[in-house]
Amino acid sequence: MKHYLEKIIDREDLTIEEMMAATEYCLSENATDSEIAALLTALQGKGETADEIAGIVEVIRSRSTFSTTPIQDAIDNCGTGGDKSYSFNISTTSAFVLAGAGITVAKHGNRSITSKSGSADVLENLGISLSFTKDHVEELLHENKIAFLFAPNVHAALKPFTKVRKHLGIRTVFNLIGPLTNPIELDTQLLGVYSREVMPMLAESLKKLGRRRAIVINGAGNVDEATLAGENHLIILDDGKLTNLTLTPESVGLPVYTKEEILGGTAKDNAEILLGVLNGKKGAYYDTVLLNAGLGIFTNGKAETIQEGIELARESIESGAALERLQQLISYSQRIPSEVY
């Protein structure tokens, strides 16, 4: 570990293999809290690279007991968080729209960190279990097209990092990599990020991690979702090729809304907003979900254009298919053994 720390402090980048070795050491019984803290702070000070991110993510995913064989065309639309926008749960609501459009969604997420309600908080309020086992997840992905993977459950091996991060209280590489650590073998991914500066690095990381198609997006006002408040900046990964794109509400035929019009609230508030959207209640929340779900459908390849993706998202809601996916997930949660739930 001393060699890796010295290299980073000298502002030299680690290779994927070196980052994997350093991460494995941090998860071993030999590592001290001081060594883990030194690695995280040194990386943050130097600035992480795509190789370093890919290296740490590969180890984290390999340590998860939820790792699966590849599931054809599976997607995740989890964002990094950290934008402090206090918006409603956009990606969580959009996930059900994606599933309603026939796309398999492995929704990775956690409780609130910088907002009032994280994905886990709002889903728990709706009556969805946070304690699905690997078998539950695989059954749900095949039969319901959507399952929720609660990060602390699927990454129990990360306790050494979790403890140190809590004491450090500063931004680390973990504020970037959460969505990348989904243990399900994803084919495609829609990744919202809080900073435009980190977009190229995360796009390269997704490429190194083997995503066939992906979109990294930074929304207007540095939101980790697409918004209808102005220019959204995208990097599209398609079979190894990266392309930059700027997307506005006008370019996809949707109205303009301010960031204030998509504010959320408590888990209960956001659950009501989610239900309103899936029941077809029109307005800023609905149109914002159309945009984000449309982008997800386009990312997955079910639509050839973003505009077509938006129309398929609209159909998913208006047909009741998106709401049905939610209801099935709630029903499944009520049927699993009480000792698990």
Q: How many domains does the chain have?
A: 1
* Helix, strand, or coil (residue 264): coil
φ, ψ at 232 (rounded to 5°)? -105, 135
Domain assignment present for residue 196? The answer is yes
> What per-residue confidence (pLDDT) applies to 115?
61
- For 282, residues 6+ apart whose C-beta sits below 8 A from its C-beta are none
- Residue 24 lies inside a defined structural domain of this protein: no
The strand order across the sheet containing 75-76 reads 146-150, 105-109, 75-76, 188-192, 213-218, 232-238, 241-247
Is residue 215 assigned to a domain?
yes
Is residue 85 domain-resident? yes
Residue 9 in domain: no
Are 107 and 146 contacting, i.e. CB atoms less than 8 angstroms apart? yes
Q: Tell me the C-alpha distance between 7 and 220, whole Å.
A: 37
The response to whether 258 counts as a known ligand-binding position is: no
Distance CA 29, CA 278 (A): 47
Q: Is 132 within a domain?
A: yes
According to the annotation, is 225 in a ligand binding site? yes
| pLDDT given for residue 256 in this prediction | 97
Number of alpha carbons in the 13 Å side-chain half-sphere of residue 31: 21
In this prediction, residue 340 carries a pLDDT of 43
Would the pTM count as exceeding 0.85? yes
pLDDT at 114: 56
Residue 113 assigned to a binding site: yes
Tens of each residue's pLDDT in the chain, 341 residues:
999 999 999 999 999 999 999 999 999 999 999 999 999 999 999 999 999 999 999 999 999 999 877 678 899 999 998 778 889 999 999 999 999 999 999 999 988 765 668 899 999 999 999 999 999 999 999 999 999 999 999 999 999 999 999 899 888 999 999 999 999 999 999 999 999 999 999 999 999 999 999 999 999 989 999 999 999 999 999 999 999 999 999 999 999 999 999 999 999 999 999 999 999 999 999 999 999 999 999 999 999 999 999 999 999 999 999 999 999 999 999 998 654 43
Do the annotations mark residue 91 as ligand-binding?
yes
State the alpha helices, DSSP H only, in the chain.
Answer: 2-9, 16-26, 33-46, 50-63, 90-100, 119-125, 134-143, 151-154, 159-168, 174-177, 199-208, 267-278, 284-300, 306-318, 321-335
CATH of the domain at 270: 3.40.1030.10
Q: What is the pLDDT of residue 341?
A: 37
Asked whether residue 165 is marked as a ligand-binding residue, the answer is: yes
Q: Which two tokens stand for residue 235?
A: 């990097």
> 192 is in which domain, residue-wise?
75-154+184-334
Is 119 labelled as part of a ligand binding site? yes
**Residue 205 is assigned to a structural domain of this protein:** yes
pLDDT of residue 153: 92
| CA neighbor of 91 nearest in space, from 64, 110, 65 | 110
Q: Which residues contact 107 (CB under 8 A, 6 or more apart)?
A: 76, 77, 78, 91, 92, 95, 119, 146, 147, 148, 149
241 is in an annotated binding site: no
230 among annotated binding-site residues: no
DSSP 14: P
Q: What is the pLDDT of residue 337?
A: 66
Residue 114 counted as an annotated binding residue:
yes
Q: Is 302 annotated as a binding residue?
A: no
69 lies in a domain? no
Residue 62 counted as an annotated binding residue: no
76 annotated ligand binder: no
**Strand, helix or coil for residue 81:** coil
**255 close to 287: Cβ distance less than 8 angstroms:** yes
| 108 is an annotated ligand-binding site residue | yes
Q: Is 109 annotated as a binding residue?
A: yes
